[in-house]
Structure 1
């Protein structure tokens, strides 16, 4: 089928084994080449990322030798999403939207259809197909009809979109796509993108500068936790382990310790898992340990095999920030392990401390390197040096790929999240020459609210990456043979209308989420004077026809071609 239909892209949305059950046979070689009937398949390259894996294959039909008849070797890419549970939905739609856009855009214009499959080929497969089709409808026609399209494709294959949860997820994902637009920007366009974020809201009597950045910040920080999100952190036995009630780990993202039998709360530490570009659990961000949580910190290091720790706080006993690593001849002892000092040295102007966590039951020893950079990034001499620490840590961490990178600041807040964001974006830029600052900042906020305190935190990340890209001279080219598989330059859908789908009289809808004018935030650092186009889209894109309009939910839409002079407000029913 792949050969006959001239397929170039396969989208796989299942793991080989899920919940202990075999869901799919492996139909590709682990290495080298294998024959499947008359088709030879050779694995050329495999790139494992946080939520999906890209595999590049070369396929050849053994009985077709004439190149003119299409008998030569063909290149085939498999996009394998690895973080989508069976009969369920992912935690957040942003990674899925990014995956759908990239996998769909990778298919050449002269290629055959995209093959999409999960386990049964109905639930997750149908969700992907509806999302891809509706994103195309939004771009091309400015409208979407989810119910009607799903009803149509179900006449072609039964049970597409298998559960109510998946149907709701489609709506959540498309709402996110409409509100935020395509925020995956080419690395060479970062400077222009920042200028677009600076565009004022000209619909107001007193235009607010940085309006689009303010709107983006509002979307990033929209989620606010409820009591059930922080149930472990707010247990009476765990309250004294938190430096601040403003920086608490969400239940679905907190780091668990090995519990002590009969000791309530012994599995808790104020620390949060964050995804990176290449691993779903690439970082742990945590507060500077309190005197009563120092052993908990090293238990976390031991349990999760962490071998690199970045410390962004200064040691100050008087202010309650003690030194939490051992000094020479002063070991930290626990019931099952001890932490002993090895050496201390200066590396590129930074103090690094080498310690070892040694098991008391056997000879196993875990080497750990602490890189101490107090007051980063506030004391940097120039913006161009912001990623110097990121680069240094990335090189040091390369030798320790088994465990996560632990990042410590005062509360597990802005500085640690900024470091993780820049590390992730640097990796994404090197792999695919694109940056998605909005996506990672929003995902990090959802795991640990309050890490972003103002829109200036987001602007700093944009500008740090802009400075890094300019210093590296990486405006074009790619570092991987898969880097060319990117979606187009930033686009924003035209005015979007949602077609009513049910002839029945609907019940009274719930009140929509308020999307009022973003509150005023501290003024951002002044940019050089630039000539700003008269109108931009919500994601910073300039519409090709030069016209845009502000809709009721605070975003800017591009009217369809030929309707520039008679714009009408978008009406989107409550979701």
Structure 2
């Protein structure tokens, strides 16, 4: 019998569970007891605590008064603390607690409704949570609007600790500070839009949002992988009722929570919703593996080993095995939509079927083509695109469709697939390949579409969605085996005889033509010529070197003075016979129409009395021999351009004409297309933007889409292509009432600055060359305009005339040409800056020569360039590189990089950025130099500022580097070195390895890492703690570049370049690609140069390594800074072109 006990801890421990011997402390604890009845139990243990569980047989009792040493057990584990209760609905509540004690097995939540102050928790309802990490439990099916009491205890070694005291109570189950109706408005593969409601009383400061993710998937090796994403937390203000989560991973199950932030940022219990993001095409697809040499089962039947793709971005539905002819560009194939590829397959299937079943007497192969009308009718949204695909992707077809399960079974069994076995694979006939043809193979993997709730949570039309398929890189080029049928080889003999005869006749004709040309050349007077940008490249070799490369060297013939004849003296009727020999393309005016002359001047339609000072001025400014042009320009540039100023101001403005006709009312409204139609113009050159410096420079005179009628001329926009420095548009024009239609091309130069002139003339010269190339030989005059049609237009015309003159003469006469133009249109070449720019452009063309080579003749060109004359001169490529090194960028300034506060940020011996195109960071107030990083903006082929070239970060600039990534919105980083090479640091390891860290003002969190054969691909999530925005950054580190020299072959590096740009296109990246090596110039220059060269090959079918590197050096110094890497550029382009049929670039 227990009379009285003062120790409540002992009471509670005994009440909940009888302790055992393991619960006793090793030492006795003194307990003061006023009165205690001790029961002596016969035949039982003498443990003082055993009386609680034993049955009484004989009892002796005695009273003890005083203090005794009594061994006892305090609780094995203490109770949780800070127990909180919040109603989540009228019949549910969530209980939260903190626990910082030792490791436990779980927790028990006890509760009772309408508590009356009792501590007898043994009778309370209990809910067990067997998770040591649990810190909350939501309990439902409670009685509405009733008070409840809750306590929490811990469990360890199957024994319960004490319950939290005092119990936590809630007066009634009424949800407060809880969001309602949390739901998903729409979702994509990488974004989810959440929405919720909140109208509870009470003051709040906002909402807090969080998400975590988890998924399991099968990788390429059919191993099951598990992926987690760490929790990301964002805050929103109190007025927010929806939030867009971006940069999510496709096909991942995310748990999103939204809770209320009360006063002092107290967090109330959140609502949660679980969402599965949409699937998309797999991240990587391997190309089919072909044995070396290829294993041909039968003629036209090739054995390959296809491999499954990772299902990280969603389950795979099926695969297509695609056959690509050797003359088709891979870039055109990856842009083909599935329906376009099915159309191409239908076309090719009919051709292959007829070819296999053809008899020997029927040798004519005829392609089945869909007309434009059919394509336009079936796909009305893309008529132009369909025609473009048809012309660039002829012969591409799907040879087999393999289900995902069949692909996994094939891979597990180590089996092979036969291309051309003539079986039908899910609707696609696997026809044999044509004999003696070059092919490549590609795999396209399709993600399985959602079959249930397909239209639920559909995103708005403005939201970009990713494709549900991914293409592999193509296989190496291979040639198919012998004939498909026996008859084919036999019937081929019918053509051998006639083919040989035709070949012999062609050789005889060629020899006769060469003999005639040689005789004609002997009769012509000899003139010294010089290569220019308008000259056709790859002429005959001179002393073993190509003629164009030889123009890069000083030539003694340039110093041989010839009698200079001034063509402009003809204005005064002098030296008429001399003009017949003067070689320039001019326009002659006959009967009011403009016709192109054949390298001869025609009399100008003006009277010389209108230009009284013309003859005197042109005599005092004779043409300049090109050998003296550089010194002449330097002389004019002296004394702060004083010579240019005096020479420009001496030119007559041409204000001797009237404007009666142009000012007439009936002429003011006339449109430009009437001139284009009447004069047969096929090229419009536009040298201004529509708006500059908030002023309208030109009204848009073409349709943005479709067809618009201007006066009597109907104009249809066919195609628009945007490049880095200009935009190309193609129109179809038609006079109303006439059946004839013409195509007109407009080239708009978009890189001319709003004020002044371009920093460098090279991009403008490339643009001018493109104008000449695209303008048909039989077309009418080129229509050129800017705003007023005198400043930039005048500069364009003068440069074009001077370059055309350089094809036939060794002199330039810029002064005389401007004077002559002003005799025809007032104020042509409006400013002194434009006059200086003309001189710089002509000098640049003279110094550079023409190094542009047709892609299909590059191999012969490189063979000739590689020939070494002697050890002192070296090869033609050596000459090019040396000449490139002598060309300095006169306008380049690096003053910011040289400031004392910035010098320590530059890696030793690394190039520094120019002031005019350096990457400028946001300035920290009061911190000098905080806007500087050693990085330069670099233009791509199709867009301005497509790349950022930078040095490998040093430890002091890691924060600046990630700040640059964030502020420039870059999503791809290309690293072309290891951190340590040749026992020297090339780049500090600037990325976290295992967990996220805050670097300066940017949080960088590693997400995934893929070890590829030649490179490592890392994914990071970067975010700004001050905002709710986060982005995904992909980091490509190329691992195969040797520490010294260049790679032995370029194939893997070319694949790496294409993979980087394919990733950028696939994920819709809009920011620049950040490229760095050690100094950010040599290897980085090779990477960017090859990217530009490859793009230009596919667009223009030409190669110009010299001009490409020269352009890069105007944007960052020392790009491709040594001879070995310059040689590697030629080697890489040759290897790239060798994988294609050269006829594709003819």
Indicate whether 1:462 and 2:462 are aligned. no
Q: Is the 8 A contact 2:1046 2:1124 kept in 1?
A: no
> How far is the alpha carbon of 1:465 from its aligned partner?
0.4
Indicate whether 1:391 and 2:1058 are aligned. yes
Q: Is the 8 A contact 1:350 1:372 kept in 2?
A: yes
> How far is the alpha carbon of 1:214 from its aligned partner?
3.4
Provide the C-alpha distance between the structure 2 equivalents of 1:20 and 1:220, rounded to a whole number of angstroms: 39
> How far is the alpha carbon of 1:226 from its aligned partner?
8.8
Task: Give a deviation string over 1:431-470, Cα, whole Å, max 9, x none.
Answer: 1111221112112223222334333322210111011111
> How far is the alpha carbon of 1:282 from its aligned partner?
1.1
Provide the C-alpha distance between the structure 1 equivalents of 2:815 and 2:863, rounded to a whole number of angstroms: 39
> How far is the alpha carbon of 1:228 from its aligned partner?
7.9
Give the match's secondary structure for 1:273.
Answer: strand
> How far is the alpha carbon of 1:87 from its aligned partner?
5.5
Provide the C-alpha distance between the structure 1 equivalents of 2:1041 and 2:688, rounded to a whole number of angstroms: 41
> How far is the alpha carbon of 1:123 from its aligned partner?
0.9
Alignment equivalent of 2:728, drawn from 54, 72, 78: 54
Indicate whether 1:28 and 2:702 are aligned. yes
Indicate whether 1:131 and 2:799 are aligned. yes
Q: 1:376 — aligned with what? A: 1041
Indicate whether 1:147 and 2:818 are aligned. no
Higher strand share: 2
Q: Is the 8 A contact 1:308 1:400 kept in 2?
A: no
Give the match's secondary structure for 2:959.
Answer: helix
Q: How does 1:216-235 map to 2 (within 5 A)?
A: 216-223=880-887, 229-235=893-899
Moved more, 367-376 or 418-427: 367-376
Q: 1:288 — aligned with what? A: 952
Give the match's secondary structure for 1:28.
Answer: coil
Q: 2:914 — aligned with what? A: 250
Q: Is the 8 A contact 1:87 1:123 kept in 2?
A: no
Q: 1:357 — aligned with what? A: 1022
Q: 1:275 — aligned with what? A: 939
Provide the C-alpha distance between the structure 2 equivalents of 1:218 and 1:99, rounded to a whole number of angstroms: 25
> How far is the alpha carbon of 1:411 from its aligned partner?
1.3
Provide the C-alpha distance between the structure 2 equivalents of 1:278 and 1:92, rounded to a whole number of angstroms: 18
Provide the C-alpha distance between the structure 2 equivalents of 1:20 and 1:280, rounded to a whole number of angstroms: 21
Q: 2:926 — aligned with what? A: 262
Alignment equivalent of 1:240, drawn from 877, 899, 904: 904
Provide the C-alpha distance between the structure 1 equivalents of 2:1053 and 2:1039, rounded to a whole number of angstroms: 13
Q: 1:528 — aligned with what? A: none
Q: 2:857 — aligned with what? A: 189
Give the match's secondary structure for 1:456.
Answer: helix
> How far is the alpha carbon of 1:18 from its aligned partner?
1.2
Q: Is the 8 A contact 1:357 1:367 kept in 2?
A: yes
Provide the C-alpha distance between the structure 1 equivalents of 2:914 and 2:697, rounded to a whole number of angstroms: 31
Provide the C-alpha distance between the structure 2 equivalents of 1:189 and 1:225, rounded to a whole number of angstroms: 31
Going from structure 1 to structure 2, the CA distance change for 1:75 and 1:83 (only over 3 Å counts) comes to same
Moved more, 118-127 or 445-454: 445-454
Provide the C-alpha distance between the structure 2 equivalents of 1:152 and 1:87, rounded to a whole number of angstroms: 26
Task: Give a deviation string over 1:269-304, Cα, whole Å, max 9, x none.
Answer: 011111111112111111111111111111111111
Provide the C-alpha distance between the structure 2 equivalents of 1:49 and 1:178, rounded to a whole number of angstroms: 26
Task: Give a deviation string over 1:177-211, Cα, whole Å, max 9, x none.
Answer: 12221222111121222233335568xxx76231x
Provide the C-alpha distance between the structure 1 equivalents of 2:782 and 2:722, rounded to a whole number of angstroms: 21
Unaligned segments of structure 2, at least 5 residues: 1-674
Indicate whether 1:476 and 2:1143 are aligned. yes
Provide the C-alpha distance between the structure 1 equivalents of 2:694 and 2:934, rounded to a whole number of angstroms: 31
Going from structure 1 to structure 2, the CA distance change for 1:136 and 1:355 (only over 3 Å counts) comes to same
Alignment equivalent of 1:10, drawn from 684, 705, 711: 684
Matched residues, number: 467
> How far is the alpha carbon of 1:418 from its aligned partner?
0.5
Provide the C-alpha distance between the structure 2 equivalents of 1:171 and 1:130, rounded to a whole number of angstroms: 10
Give the match's secondary structure for 1:271.
Answer: strand
Indicate whether 1:43 and 2:707 are aligned. no
Alignment equivalent of 2:1008, drawn from 334, 343, 349: 343
Alignment equivalent of 1:322, drawn from 967, 974, 988: 988
Q: 1:542 — aligned with what? A: none
With CA pairs under 8 Å and 6+ residues apart, which has the higher RCO, 1 or 2?
A: 1
Moved more, 124-133 or 143-152: 143-152
> How far is the alpha carbon of 1:379 from its aligned partner?
7.0
Give the match's secondary structure for 2:935.
Answer: strand
Q: 1:64 — aligned with what? A: 738
Moved more, 359-368 or 113-122: 359-368
Moved more, 46-55 or 91-100: 91-100
Task: Give a deviation string over 1:95-145, Cα, whole Å, max 9, x none.
Answer: 111111220232222221110001111111011101111111111344432
Provide the C-alpha distance between the structure 1 equivalents of 2:889 and 2:1048, rounded to a whole number of angstroms: 37
Going from structure 1 to structure 2, the CA distance change for 1:391 and 1:33 (only over 3 Å counts) comes to same
Q: How does 1:419-568 map to 2 (within 5 A)?
A: 419-473=1087-1141, 475-477=1142-1144
> How far is the alpha carbon of 1:176 from its aligned partner?
1.8
TM-score, with length taken from structure 1: 0.77
Provide the C-alpha distance between the structure 2 equivalents of 1:460 and 1:316, rounded to a whole number of angstroms: 23
Q: 1:82 — aligned with what? A: 750
Going from structure 1 to structure 2, the CA distance change for 1:144 and 1:224 (only over 3 Å counts) comes to closer
TM-score, with length taken from structure 2: 0.39
Task: Give a deviation string over 1:395-430, Cα, whole Å, max 9, x none.
Answer: 111134411111111111201111010111111111
Q: 2:1077 — aligned with what? A: 409
Q: Is the 8 A contact 2:862 2:1130 kept in 1?
A: yes
Give the match's secondary structure for 1:140.
Answer: coil
Q: Is the 8 A contact 1:230 1:248 kept in 2?
A: yes
Q: 2:228 — aligned with what? A: none
Q: 1:19 — aligned with what? A: 693
Going from structure 1 to structure 2, the CA distance change for 1:379 and 1:36 (only over 3 Å counts) comes to same
Q: How does 1:91-170 map to 2 (within 5 A)?
A: 91-170=759-838
Q: 1:481 — aligned with what? A: none
Going from structure 1 to structure 2, the CA distance change for 1:291 and 1:83 (only over 3 Å counts) comes to same
Provide the C-alpha distance between the structure 1 equivalents of 2:1120 and 2:774, rounded to a whole number of angstroms: 34
Give the match's secondary structure for 1:221.
Answer: helix
Going from structure 1 to structure 2, the CA distance change for 1:136 and 1:285 (only over 3 Å counts) comes to same
> How far is the alpha carbon of 1:225 from its aligned partner?
7.2
Provide the C-alpha distance between the structure 1 equivalents of 2:787 and 2:700, rounded to a whole number of angstroms: 12
Q: Is the 8 A contact 2:933 2:961 kept in 1?
A: yes
> How far is the alpha carbon of 1:343 from its aligned partner?
1.0
> How far is the alpha carbon of 1:477 from its aligned partner?
2.9
Going from structure 1 to structure 2, the CA distance change for 1:354 and 1:40 (only over 3 Å counts) comes to same
Going from structure 1 to structure 2, the CA distance change for 1:374 and 1:316 (only over 3 Å counts) comes to same
Q: Is the 8 A contact 1:180 1:216 kept in 2?
A: no
Alignment equivalent of 1:332, drawn from 985, 990, 998: 998
Unaligned segments of structure 1, at least 5 residues: 66-71, 479-483, 485-575
Root-mean-square deviation (Å):
2.3
Provide the C-alpha distance between the structure 2 equivalents of 1:49 and 1:466, rounded to a whole number of angstroms: 24
Going from structure 1 to structure 2, the CA distance change for 1:262 and 1:58 (only over 3 Å counts) comes to same
- Structure with higher Rg: it is 2
> How far is the alpha carbon of 1:157 from its aligned partner?
0.2
